[in-house]
Structure 1
């Protein structure tokens, strides 16, 4: 009698981690389709489905954004590995600084996640990597508004890029999300969803550093947002990340000498 050998169980890999500087997330599994988001180094995602062996549809655990990326740009994880890489991490604070691994140098961009970081090195699948740039530990460091504003200013002059989340291209929603995420505050990806967060402020004079301002188009739909530096200035991504004047009507662009955005309301996200 022949006894069938038991097959060794292999955990199904339905999650992934980004091991490149950034990966484009597109609206369709096509290089010509619109980029709607990006994954940065160290960020994890859930794989929803695959297509043509080249594309996979992924979902972010932070904001539940979904889209398509190239399969070979991601490193597959089991569910246990996925949970492991969601735990303790630091965030990179330099605009760009290389991480050094086995015969490789990977540019790490501002806001990237460094899993299991000890301040000198961090752990990725199959290897540890060295990193000499500045890092921030959101779970271990007391929050200071001055630090948030410093990070917000690091993105100054980053060009506007729809779907972007890096200092080399970022949109209005991505900018707000990235600045707050570094400090352990996970906001939605889209501007209109961000506007549902926090406490409404009724007057611009009530605003203070770290509050969010949201703006509407001619149909009254939320279409833009930014971060207050104080109750007279806002930093936002419009053409590039820039600082403009803010009043009860909206954003005034001194270069163009016009109002570029009509104010809807302010929101307070940070605790008092």
Structure 2
């Protein structure tokens, strides 16, 4: 099947082949996708190379590339809140966390796509080095006050699992897309009192289904996307909203990834 990369800053990934359909996730510029199905009016069903998530995207948001380019590893991520580039000579602003393949000397070329960085950014390695918790915390705090957006994966709108996925990505830790999927990864931490910066806490609904995730700062504070990305207190029962003092989420499990 054809392979492609995303050539717009953020592309919605929808449940069905229609603009009115629910946005179930997003594709960030530079991510690779495999096209597995087509529909009328320029819609294609794709699988996100990074997290395996499947949905429908507009073909106008994609550029077909060879299988070789698709499988080439990501080498760097753009770490600024916004990043200015030239895409085939046209200016574009990219959000935090977009990836580059084959980055060298302020440029990259994937098939017909030529990328030039207007200023030298402090690009970060995608993987291969130990996690620096200071850098991870700085990346996470770039999302503070970002509005909650169902299906969002970027600093202009993000959901709870998209937030932690994007932050971990810059430290070379791949996470699945949804909170319930992420909860199957990592190693269980038995008690909140044993938690440390970078652990993820997962929360369930009354039916027992995991529906929320957040990044623990320590054993009593959590950074998470709820209404907006915010810091709230947490105890053995769950999260308490710092503004209203109302308990909002019931703690289910804590996982460690590094």
The aligned residue for residue 204 of structure 1 is 192
1:141-156 counterparts in 2 under 5 A? 141-156=129-144
Q: Secondary structure at the match of 1:230?
A: coil
TM-score (norm 2): 0.94
Give structure 2 stretches of 5+ with no counterpart. none
Distance 2:128 2:203 in 1: 34
Distance 2:126 2:56 in 1: 29
Alignment pair present for 1:96 and 2:82:
yes
1:170-181 counterparts in 2 under 5 A? 170-181=158-169
Deviations 1:197-243 (A, max 9, x none): 11111211000000000111111111101001111110000001111
2:99 aligned residue (113, 136, 159): 113
Distance 2:87 2:21 in 1: 33
The aligned residue for residue 82 of structure 1 is 70
Greater mean deviation of Cα atoms: 216-225 or 126-135: 126-135
Distance 2:227 2:128 in 1: 35
Aligned-CA RMSD value: 1.5
Alignment pair present for 1:69 and 2:57:
yes
Q: 1:102 to 1:60 in 2, by over 3 A?
A: closer
Paired residues in the alignment total 256
Distance 2:105 2:17 in 1: 37
Distance 1:142 1:201 in 2: 20
- Asked if structure 2 preserves the Cα contact closer than 8 Å seen for 1:121 and 1:131, the reply is no
Q: 1:240 to 1:233 in 2, by over 3 A?
A: same
TM-score (norm 1): 0.90
4+ residue segments displaced more than 3 Å = 139-142
Alignment pair present for 1:244 and 2:240:
no
Q: 1:119 to 1:246 in 2, by over 3 A?
A: farther
Give structure 1 stretches of 5+ with no counterpart. 1-12
Distance 2:250 2:71 in 1: 42
> Alpha-carbon deviation of 1:177?
0.8
- Asked if structure 2 preserves the Cα contact closer than 8 Å seen for 1:114 and 1:123, the reply is no
> Alpha-carbon deviation of 1:128?
3.8
Greater mean deviation of Cα atoms: 169-178 or 137-146: 137-146
- Asked if structure 2 preserves the Cα contact closer than 8 Å seen for 1:214 and 1:225, the reply is yes
- Asked if structure 1 preserves the Cα contact closer than 8 Å seen for 2:74 and 2:126, the reply is no
